[in-house]
Amino acid sequence: MAPEAAMAKVVCATVLRRARGRLALARLIAASQEWSLVLFAAAAATAGVTVWLNSRLPGAGFWTGVAIAAVAIPAASVFWRRPPLKQVARLLDRRASLQDRLVTSLEFEALERPTPFQSAAVEQTDQLLGDLDPRPWLPLPSWKGYGWLVVPALCVLNLWLYTEWAHRPPPVNAAAERRLVEKSRELGGLSRQLEKEAQARGSQELQKMAAEFRRTAEETSPEAGKSTEQKEREALAQWSRLENRLAEMAKDNGGFSQKELSELARALEENPADASLARMLKQGDLAGAAQEMQAMMQQGRENAAGSERMRSAAQRMSGVPLSSEQGRQLMQQMQQAARSQGSQDLERSMGEMSQSLSNAAKRRQQSQAAQGSLSGLRMSKAGWNGLGSQAIAGEQGLGKTGNSESAGSGS
């Protein structure tokens, strides 16, 4: 093909593409005029359903998405179904009175080997078209009645305001951030010390505390997207939980409540021979109580009076209601001892009771060891630049946000 014919082909195609884009835009405007109320109603219905399904979705961002979709989807649909170039050429030929020159040029351009006459016709059409502007021949529909487009425009403006103001980075206090980092490192160091001590002692209580300290250290570390004040409240709430945990460890009686031990002691005091065992239980001396039971078992092996003493003590203690897990286990063992017929069954049941008290004593020792290892924690909190007084407020604030795990995790 001659260079002139190739250039003519480019000019003709350019004019037709401009005309096709103009025609597609006209169709879009006409369709949006016809379906504007339907599109807006569909957008409103979609918004209502989505907000109902997810009430936490930001209103500005969602409405903007709906507005953009309500305009972009129909626009994409209309442009995707653009009319073919031949149809555009026929329409422009008719409206611009070009006497089918554009249609003829398209047909000649589609030929692989056009004749000289056909190439000359294409070149003549190119000269005739020149810089033909299709806009006068393809006018756009009137823009009257397009007030509904104000709604998408407002939604886009709302999105900009939402992004500009609501998503601004929260204020950061550099000094407070450093305090949070220091406390996070301090808790991390304590957790590593507890892990080493737990391995050395074989203490499950220390292992649990080490895991709790490690988790609290991670949660105390500054988190992006939160204000310094909120981070401090959450960190203080985390430390408050640890402090409460230490207080519980200080009161640990090996799984028994103090009330249960007092009730058992009161039942044993009915027999003066069991006064020593009763006193140890009342004082919380579980290891001494376990040794006293071992001595009682030794007397039972030596004479019948000792065996009867064991049975009587088991019967009196089995009548005491115990609600804790350790207490229920001990009560079951006491009931078995009270119902036992032979001396061997009685001795085995009493041995299980003694072992339960001994295990409870070990658990209490481990709790006390853990509490002693963490004796400096309260002093660390008190030195946190006077922020300790905010712990209660921090827990309340977290409770309002529904973060129950963080609210219980604390200082």
Strand, helix or coil for residue 256: strand
CA dist 360 → 53, 199, 330 (Å): 52, 20, 11
Q: Cα(19)–Cα(67) distance, rounded to whole angstroms?
A: 28
Using an 8 Å Cβ cutoff, are 228 and 176 in contact?
A: yes
Q: Cα(165)–Cα(63) distance, rounded to whole angstroms?
A: 17
For 382-392, how does the pLDDT look when each residue is reduced to its tens digit (9 = 90+)? 444 433 333 33
For the ranges 25-29, 247-251, 268-272, 334-338, the lowest mean pLDDT is seen at 247-251
* Domain spans of the chain, in order of start: 3-166, 174-253, 258-373
User: Cβ-count burial of 362 within 10 angstroms (0-12 exposed, 13-18 middle, 19+ buried)?
Assistant: middle
Q: How many CB atoms lie within 10 A of CB 251?
A: 10
Name the maximum alpha-carbon separation found in the chain. Answer: 136
Higher model confidence: residue 128 or residue 199?
Answer: 199
Kindly indicate the confidence band of residue 181, based on its pLDDT and cuts at 50, 70 and 90: confident
Q: Cα(402)–Cα(411) distance, rounded to whole angstroms?
A: 19
Structure token pair of residue 279: 């006193």
Report angle CA 292, 294, 297 to the nearest 5 degrees. Answer: 115
For 276-294, how does the pLDDT look when each residue is reduced to its tens digit (9 = 90+)? 877 887 777 777 777 877 7
- What are the start-end ranges of the E strands in 178-301? none
Nearest to 387 by CA among 186, 171, 175, 225: 175
Question: Residue 97: in which H helix or E strand, if any?
Answer: none
CA dist 81 → 25, 78, 319 (Å): 12, 5, 88
Q: Cα(2)–Cα(150) distance, rounded to whole angstroms?
A: 53
151-156 mean pLDDT:
62
Q: Cα(32)–Cα(382) distance, rounded to whole angstroms?
A: 67
Q: What is the pTM of this model?
A: 0.35
Cα 341 to the chain's mean position, in Å? 59
* Predicted local confidence at residue 175, as pLDDT: 73
The share of the chain scoring above pLDDT 90, in percent, equals 0
For the ranges 88-102, 141-155, 337-351, 374-388, the lowest mean pLDDT is seen at 374-388
User: Cβ-count burial of 115 within 10 angstroms (0-12 exposed, 13-18 middle, 19+ buried)?
Assistant: exposed
Residues 6+ apart with CB under 8 A from 229: 173
- Mean pLDDT of the residues in the chain: 66
The dihedral over CA atoms of 203, 204, 209, 215, expressed in degrees to the nearest 10, equals 130
For 29-86, how does the pLDDT look when each residue is reduced to its tens digit (9 = 90+)? 776 666 665 565 566 555 555 555 554 445 555 655 666 666 667 667 666 766 777 7
Residues 6+ apart with CB under 8 A from 391: 236, 237, 239, 240, 410, 411
What DSSP line would sit under 307-375, residue for residue?
Answer: HHHHHHHHHHHHTS---SHHHHHHHHHHHHHHH--SHHHHHHHHHHHHHHHHHHHHHHHHHHHHHHHTT
Kindly indicate the confidence band of residue 260, based on its pLDDT and cuts at 50, 70 and 90: confident
Using an 8 Å Cβ cutoff, are 150 and 40 in contact?
A: no
| Residue 141 main-chain phi, psi, to 5 deg | -65, 160
For the ranges 35-44, 158-167, 349-358, 373-382, the lowest mean pLDDT is seen at 373-382
Q: What is the DSSP letter of 411?
A: -
Q: Cα(229)–Cα(340) distance, rounded to whole angstroms?
A: 64
* Predicted local confidence at residue 385, as pLDDT: 40
Structure token pair of residue 193: 């010390």
Q: Cα(343)–Cα(300) distance, rounded to whole angstroms?
A: 8
Using an 8 Å Cβ cutoff, are 254 and 329 in contact?
A: no
Using an 8 Å Cβ cutoff, are 337 and 349 in contact?
A: yes
Q: What is the DSSP letter of 253?
A: B
